[in-house]
Structure 1
């Protein structure tokens, strides 16, 4: 099972409408399909979603670091030599999305070689995950209409509201309108994408008290260390680290310093291997985890389901799995289905993300 080639294919698929949030706006999924080829003819695959405005990675940087920096030291190793491969990747600081995609592609190849679903290799806790849908920057009534549609169409009962706007009243109004319109049985939580100061976040919490909001994700910049600590101490609900905790080391720092008291795991930036390390820290410290979304395609969302369904702790909360519905198309040969508010794992060897080669030819941007 020696690796013979690492391939990074840039492609672009438009969204049906611009997606807006505190840290940026996207109109096209400019992603990279990562393939690990082996001497046995097995190919492991994964999707890499660059987020330049958040992590600094681009299609070009992901392709270059994979093919020019990692590949010369990884080609010739077995896909099962994960510790050696991760030692190669650790020499390069950052580039988390490139590393995460390579790791998932390795797990996909291992699952195919062993004729076993990767979710089973990871833990095999359950066979599906509940879905949380993310609501972007829109007027309050439009947000309510969107949430009702996703509830009626897909059975979704958990919604993450993208916040971090100024004036604060825009987000506060949206919280009240959504709770009144959706009722108490729907789970609502907030994600400010570093858009507020800690004091602004505390004001929002004060003015939404009694609405039953369950989480507050990444309210302010990680560099505001002391104010974040003060916010966590005073917040009546868990404060979730996201962009501030891309690695296991970052998660340790934020949890132990009081910068957050819950963690968002994103397989797109941690792969499956480091995601396990982060999950172990969280379960050991007794803090909640959520499975996040990096505006993933169906390929990326399936990876999240594969990991999230493998463990009890990651299955407790709904995973952010529905953003692929905002895309005009996808590369997955067999589209994902949301039924009764859940997405099922695929009981096939590997991750189960078979690619439609005709679509890849149509959307790739390097030819």
Structure 2
């Protein structure tokens, strides 16, 4: 079960349309496929989606840190030595998605070795999650049309609406249009990606007070300490910390400092090992939890649903598991399907997926 090699393979798959939000815009999935090889011939896989405007990572940077720093730290360890592995990876500051992908690929290799699904190794609570779909910046008519299509085609009835534009009325108009078109039974919540000031956020939330929003996420910058605390006191729905709370220590800081009342867990940035630490901390603090999305491809979404379905608390709200629908293609031999608003855990050992070698050759950016 010892790790003998780690691969970091860059690939690019175009999105069907640009995904726009307050902190950036994405036109292509320029991700990194991570493969962990063991001495027994087992290969575990995961993907790292760089978000330079959020965490400072780039595709080239992820490859470099894995090949030159992280891989040498884990080669020679057994896939069961996850705590020792985590301690070694923590020596390197930052690089969250590189570490997360390596961690999840090791868990996949462990599951394949033991012939058990990762979801069962993590907790085994259920085999599915309800799905929330993220709606990026667009005009009200286009966003309503997309939401209605997601309802009709996939049964999705929960939507995270990207906000944070200037003026804020652009976004409050969108949310109002969505509520009027979709009706009272659809769950709506907003995510500002730190785009508004605290005062702008409070004003926008007052304008949307009658729209029955479920959450507000990262409306203003986390480093505006006093403004953020003031804002959370003005908002009458749970305030989700996302990119401001990527470690257990940051969760503690945000919550005890009064800057958040709920947490987004993204396996793409905390893997399975650190995600469990964050989740257990949230359970101890009595916080609501939402499974977030790093604009993951299908492999990343498989990881997210494997973790979310493994624990009771992460199934209480719909998880953000559908952004792979915006991609023009993917790498899996068997594509994911969202039916009746749910995404099922893949059956089989590990993550239950296989990479299509022909597609990987087509989309990879390095030489085979």
TM-score (normalizing by structure 2): 0.99
User: Runs in 1 of length 4+ with deviation above 2 angstroms?
Assistant: none
Whether contact under 8 Å (2:188, 2:214) holds in the other structure is yes
Displacement of 1:87 after TM fit? 1.2
Q: Secondary structure at the match of 1:210?
A: helix
After the TM superposition, which residues 1-367 of structure 1 pair with which residues of structure 2 at under 5 Å, given as runs? 1-367=1-367
Q: Aligned partners of 2:298 and 2:73: how far apart in 1?
A: 30
Displacement of 1:353 after TM fit? 2.4
Displacement of 1:67 after TM fit? 1.2
Structure 1 unmatched runs, 5+: none
Q: Secondary structure at the match of 1:240?
A: strand
Q: Aligned partners of 2:353 and 2:52: how far apart in 1?
A: 25
Deviations 1:147-197 (A, max 9, x none): 111101110000000000011110111111111111000000000000001
Displacement of 1:331 after TM fit? 0.3
Q: Aligned partners of 1:330 and 1:110: how far apart in 2?
A: 24
Q: Aligned partners of 1:297 and 1:332: how far apart in 2?
A: 10
Displacement of 1:332 after TM fit? 0.9
Q: Secondary structure at the match of 2:165?
A: coil
Deviations 1:100-132 (A, max 9, x none): 001100100010011000001111111101110
Q: Secondary structure at the match of 1:166?
A: coil
Q: Aligned partners of 1:17 and 1:206: how far apart in 2?
A: 32
Aligned length: 367
Q: Aligned partners of 1:349 and 1:206: how far apart in 2?
A: 48
Deviations 1:213-252 (A, max 9, x none): 0100011111011111111122100110001011111111
Q: Aligned partners of 1:109 and 1:72: how far apart in 2?
A: 18
Q: Aligned partners of 1:12 and 1:346: how far apart in 2?
A: 24
Displacement of 1:33 after TM fit? 0.2
Tell me the C-alpha RMSD between the 2 structures. Answer: 0.7
Deviations 1:33-72 (A, max 9, x none): 0011000000110000000111110111111111110122
Q: Secondary structure at the match of 2:102?
A: helix
Q: Aligned partners of 2:253 and 2:3: how far apart in 1?
A: 35
Q: Aligned partners of 2:6 and 2:248: how far apart in 1?
A: 25
Structure 2 unmatched runs, 5+: none
